[in-house]
Structure 1
Amino acid sequence: MLVNPGGPGGSGVTIAMALGKSIQTVVGPHQDVIGFDPRGIGATTPRADCFSYPADGGDGEDDHVRGQFHRTLWGNAGRQIGLVNSSSVALQKLDTRARVQAKLCAEKDSLKGSDSIFRHLSTPTVARDMLSIVDAWDEWTAALPSESAPGKLSATDDKLRPDPSKGPISLDTKSKLVYWGFSYGTLLGATFAAMFPDRVGRLILDGVVDADHYVSPLWSESIRDADAVSRSFSRYCHGAAESCALYRDNDTVADIEERFELIRTSIMDHPITLIDPISKMPIVISYSDIRLVLFVCLYAPTQTFPIVAMILDSLYRGSDAVVGQIFGWPPDLELQPFCGPPPPPSLYPNEAQAAIMCSDKRYELNETIPNLHRLFEKLETESSWADVWMTLMIGCDGWQISAVDPPMRWDSNPANTSKPIKTSFPVLFISNTADPVTPLYAGVKMAQKFVDAGLIEQKSEGHCSLAAVSQCTMKKIRAYIEKGEVPPAPVRGGKGRELIDGKWDRCEADEWPFHPYESDTWLAAKGEVGVDDVESMDALRDMQKKFYRQATFLGQIGGLNMGKINDFVLQT
Structure 2
Amino acid sequence: MSRLFESKLFFLLTFLKVAVGQENRYLVSFDWSTIEPSTNLSWVDCYSGFQCARYQVPLNYSNPDDCQTAAIAVIKLNATIEESSQYGGPIFVNPGGPGASGVDFALQAASTLQSIVGSHFDIIGFDPRGIKNSTPKISVFQAKEESKEERSNWFAREAADLNSTADALPEAWARYQVFGQLAQNRDHDSDGFLDFVTTDNVARDMLGMVEALGEEKLQYYGGSYGTVLGAVFSTMFPDRVGRVVIDGCLDMDSYFRNDLKNQMVDTDKAMQAFFDGCHSAGPEACAFFNSSPSQIEANLEAIYDSVCTQPVPVFSGETYGVITYDALRLVVVGALQSANFPMLAAGLAELSTGNGTAIYQMFAEGLSETVAVTESMIAIKCSDADLLHVDWGSIWLVFIRLLLERGWEFHPNSRFKGPVGGNTSFPLVIGNTADPITSLSASKKTSLSFPGSVLLQQDSVGHTAFSSQSSCTFQHLAAYFNNGTLPEEGTICPTDIPLFPSADDTDASGTANSARSLPLFRRRY
Q: What TM-score bracket applies, with the shorter chain setting the length?
A: 0.7 to 0.9
Are the structure 2 counterparts of residues 318 and 464 from structure 1 closer, same or farther at C-alpha, using a change threshold of 3 Å? same
Are the structure 2 counterparts of residues 365 and 399 from structure 1 closer, same or farther at C-alpha, using a change threshold of 3 Å? farther
Query: If the length of structure 2 is used for normalisation, what is the TM-score?
Result: 0.76
Residue 20 of structure 1, CA deviation: 1.2
For the pair 1:407 / 2:412, whether they are aligned, the reply is no
Q: CA–CA distance in 2 between the matches of 1:31 and 1:516?
A: 36
Alignment of 1:283-298 (within 5 A): 283-298=321-336
Helix, strand or coil at the partner of 2:213: helix
Q: CA–CA distance in 2 between the matches of 1:218 and 1:125?
A: 22
* Aligned amino acid, residue 266 of structure 1: S
Query: If the length of structure 1 is used for normalisation, what is the TM-score?
Result: 0.70
Contact 1:2 1:34 in 2 (8 A): yes
Counterpart of 1:75 (choices 152, 155, 164) is 155
Are the structure 2 counterparts of residues 366 and 522 from structure 1 closer, same or farther at C-alpha, using a change threshold of 3 Å? farther
Query: Residue 87 of structure 1 aligns with which residue?
Result: 165
Helix, strand or coil at the partner of 2:449: coil
Helix, strand or coil at the partner of 2:211: helix
Query: Residue 139 of structure 2 aligns with which residue?
Result: 49
Contact 2:497 2:514 in 1 (8 A): no
Alignment of 1:309-324 (within 5 A): 309-324=345-360
Are the structure 2 counterparts of residues 98 and 198 from structure 1 closer, same or farther at C-alpha, using a change threshold of 3 Å? same
Are the structure 2 counterparts of residues 329 and 185 from structure 1 closer, same or farther at C-alpha, using a change threshold of 3 Å? closer
Contact 2:467 2:521 in 1 (8 A): no
Q: Whose strand proportion is higher, 1 or 2?
A: 2
Contact 1:510 1:517 in 2 (8 A): no
Query: Residue 183 of structure 1 aligns with which residue?
Result: 224
Q: Structure 1, unaligned stretches of length 5 or more?
A: 53-61, 139-173, 336-346, 380-389, 414-419, 490-503, 524-537, 554-572
* Aligned amino acid, residue 276 of structure 2: R
Query: Residue 383 of structure 2 aligns with which residue?
Result: 359
Residue 521 of structure 1, CA deviation: 5.4
Cα deviations across residues 120-139 of structure 1 (Å, max 9, x unaligned)? 1100110000100100000x
Residue 87 of structure 1, CA deviation: 1.4
Q: CA–CA distance in 2 between the matches of 1:322 and 1:393?
A: 35
Contact 2:316 2:357 in 1 (8 A): no
Are the structure 2 counterparts of residues 85 and 189 from structure 1 closer, same or farther at C-alpha, using a change threshold of 3 Å? same
Identity %: 32
Contact 2:198 2:384 in 1 (8 A): yes
* Aligned amino acid, residue 68 of structure 1: K
* Aligned amino acid, residue 198 of structure 2: S
Helix, strand or coil at the partner of 2:492: strand
Cα deviations across residues 267-289 of structure 1 (Å, max 9, x unaligned)? 1211122346327x6x3322111
Residue 92 of structure 1, CA deviation: 0.9
Helix, strand or coil at the partner of 1:190: helix
Cα root mean square deviation, aligned: 3.0
- Name which one, 1 or 2, has greater alpha-carbon Rg: 1
Alignment of 1:515-554 (within 5 A): 515=501, 544-548=518-522, 551=523, 553=525
Q: CA–CA distance in 2 between the matches of 1:366 and 1:106?
A: 21
Are the structure 2 counterparts of residues 331 and 227 from structure 1 closer, same or farther at C-alpha, using a change threshold of 3 Å? closer
Q: How many positions carry a matched residue from both structures?
A: 432
Alignment of 1:205-354 (within 5 A): 205-242=246-283, 243-248=285-290, 251-275=291-315, 277-278=317-318, 283-301=321-339, 304-327=340-363, 332=368, 349=373, 351-354=375-378
Cα deviations across residues 107-149 of structure 1 (Å, max 9, x unaligned)? 1122234xx22111100110000100100000xxxxxxxxxxx
Q: CA–CA distance in 2 between the matches of 1:330 and 1:305?
A: 16
Cα deviations across residues 163-186 of structure 1 (Å, max 9, x unaligned)? xxxxxxxxxxx4000000011001
* Aligned amino acid, residue 288 of structure 2: L
* Aligned amino acid, residue 423 of structure 2: K
Cα deviations across residues 33-87 of structure 1 (Å, max 9, x unaligned)? 00010011010001100111xxxxxxxxx31x12122112222333xx4521111
Q: Structure 2, unaligned stretches of length 5 or more?
A: 1-90
Contact 2:223 2:246 in 1 (8 A): yes
Q: CA–CA distance in 2 between the matches of 1:514 and 1:42?
A: 36
* Aligned amino acid, residue 246 of structure 1: F
Helix, strand or coil at the partner of 1:351: helix
Contact 1:7 1:184 in 2 (8 A): yes
* Aligned amino acid, residue 422 of structure 2: I
Are the structure 2 counterparts of residues 209 and 349 from structure 1 closer, same or farther at C-alpha, using a change threshold of 3 Å? closer
Helix, strand or coil at the partner of 1:83: coil
Q: CA–CA distance in 2 between the matches of 1:331 and 1:470?
A: 29
Q: CA–CA distance in 2 between the matches of 1:179 and 1:287?
A: 39
* Aligned amino acid, residue 132 of structure 1: G
Residue 263 of structure 1, CA deviation: 1.5
Counterpart of 1:509 (choices 488, 495, 500) is 495
Query: Residue 85 of structure 2 aligns with which residue?
Result: none
Q: CA–CA distance in 2 between the matches of 1:463 and 1:209?
A: 11
* Aligned amino acid, residue 383 of structure 2: S
